[in-house]
Amino acid sequence: MPPGIDCIGALSDGILHHILSFLPAQEAVRTCVLAQRWRHLWKCTTGLRIVGNKGPFWRWLNGLLFVSRCLRTLVLSGVGLQGTTLDFSSCPALEDLTIGFSVINVGKISSLSLKCLSIFRCRSYLDDRVRVSAPCVVSLKLLGFSGITPLLESMPLLETAFLTLGAHGHHTSQDICQKYSQSGVYCGAKHDACTNCHANNDGSRNCVVLGAISNAKHLELISSFGTVIFTRDLKWCPTFDKLKNLILNDYWCMGPSFDALSCILKHSPVLEKLSLHLFKGLRANVKMKGSYSSMERSSVISEHLKVVDVKCSVVDENVVEVLKFLCTLNIRKLTGSTLHALHILKICLHLS
């Protein structure tokens, strides 16, 4: 190629906007000095990545708005957000918002155009819940939020949601059962429940997260022990009319009667697949699969349920109790990945 030929400059504006969307905002803005043509290209990029290097470098001032008719993707990482509202009404094309490793001290996050929302490893120092209003969201991820769990408003178009609540590394939720944190005894939002388990901070009886995600087809709901949000929301449990695939961890299998697991199964009338991840870390050593008995079906759960997966590190007493519970629902055709697992399953079937 002859020297001096500007191949990148020969690209169309649309392609250059796309390239700039992958750069951190600071770097994208710096391209304005390359040439006359580049002076305003960054202003029309379809993606914006605001990244803090050493702690939050950028803060949201009350009343400040993003204004862009082109912006489709926004990534905020390592920043501090503060003010009354994080309002994206002036970004009508914004579809994908990711906020990570950031402080979110805003009363409300609002967008009418968002389709994908991801909030991970963030924290809030507010005394009230951050409200999330994104009625057009199709995909939601809320992972490892520290402080008070955000309150999710209605998401009627939601299809998939991945929620991980509780302690993750140094991130700790404030929605912890007070009795559990003091004595290791989980009150379970019963009559003598602690303040955190009994009601929302504002005194309302509405769900914090489950009501908003009740239209999803695929849910993965993970919580650490002692966290109260899911258990408390189940007191006003919505019906998951579209839910077909459900993944739960061992948090949902607490107590001899498996109240949390029973409740969500009763409210999932079209559920086709249930996966129970009863292991810590990223890998399970034992994998078991079961299905309904062809002769009997439980009236407690969905008649559409075809497969139940159980994954665990070892088949201990807790796992055995879960298997026994599944047997009471006539989930009997069980196979395991190890002979040890199969032996335990035969015992469970005999006891049932």
Q: Where are the domains of the chain?
A: 14-45, 46-277+317-330, 278-316+331-351
- What pLDDT is stored for residue 131 in this prediction? 96
Q: Using the predicted structure, report yes or no on whether residue 184 has a pLDDT greater than 90.
A: no
Angle between helices 339-351 and 317-328 (to 10 degrees): 50
Return the pLDDT at 51: 72
How many CB atoms lie under 10 A from the CB of residue 90? 12
Residue 11, Cα to own-chain centre: how many angstroms?
39
**Cα(152)–Cα(206) distance, rounded to whole angstroms?**
11
Token pair of 289, please? Answer: 């699969």
pLDDT at 201: 46
Could you tell me the two tokens for 323? 């298997």
Q: Where are the alpha helices (DSSP H) in the chain?
A: 13-20, 25-30, 178-183, 195-198, 229-233, 259-266, 317-328, 339-351
Nearest CA-CA partner of 21 in 110, 121, 94: 94
What are 244's two structure tokens? Answer: 């077909």
Range of lowest pLDDT (85-94, 96-105, 212-221, 293-302): 293-302
Residue 269 has pLDDT above 90, yes or no: yes
List the beta bridge partners of residue 286.
Answer: 312
Task: Say which residue, 179 or 118, is predicted with more confidence.
Answer: 118
Does residue 54 carry a pLDDT above 60?
Answer: no
- The alpha carbon torsion through 11, 16, 19, 22 (nearest 10 deg) reads 170
Across residues 55-60, what is the average pLDDT?
51
| Beta carbons of 165 and 210 less than 8 angstroms apart | no
250-275 average pLDDT score = 91
Residue 31: what pLDDT?
63
CB atoms within 10 A of CB 233: 22
242, pLDDT greater than 60: yes
Residue 321 has pLDDT above 80, yes or no: yes
* pLDDT value at residue 106: 93
Q: Model confidence at 14, in pLDDT bands (50, 70, 90)?
A: low
How many whole angstroms separate alpha carbon 134 and alpha carbon 99?
A: 14
Average pLDDT, the chain: 79
**pLDDT value for 33:** 52
18: pLDDT strictly greater than 70? no
C-alpha span between 91 and 83 (Å, rounded): 18
User: Is a pLDDT exceeding 90 seen at residue 187?
Assistant: no
pLDDT in the model for residue 323: 84
CA–CA dist 234, 8 (Å, integer): 56
Q: 109-158: per-residue pLDDT in tens?
A: 999 999 999 999 999 999 899 999 999 999 999 999 999 999 999 999 99
Average pLDDT, stretch 70-82?
87
pLDDT of 84 = 86
Q: Which residue has the higher pLDDT, 161 or 199?
A: 161
Q: How far is CA 133 from the centre of its chain?
A: 15
pLDDT at 109: 95
pLDDT of residue 157: 98
Q: How confident is the model at residue 350 (pLDDT cuts 50, 70, 90)?
A: very low
**286-290 and 307-312 as β-strands: parallel, antiparallel, unpaired?**
antiparallel
- What separation in angstroms does the CA of 59 have from each of 12, 103, 104, 164? 34, 10, 10, 26
> 109 with 131: CB under 8 angstroms?
yes
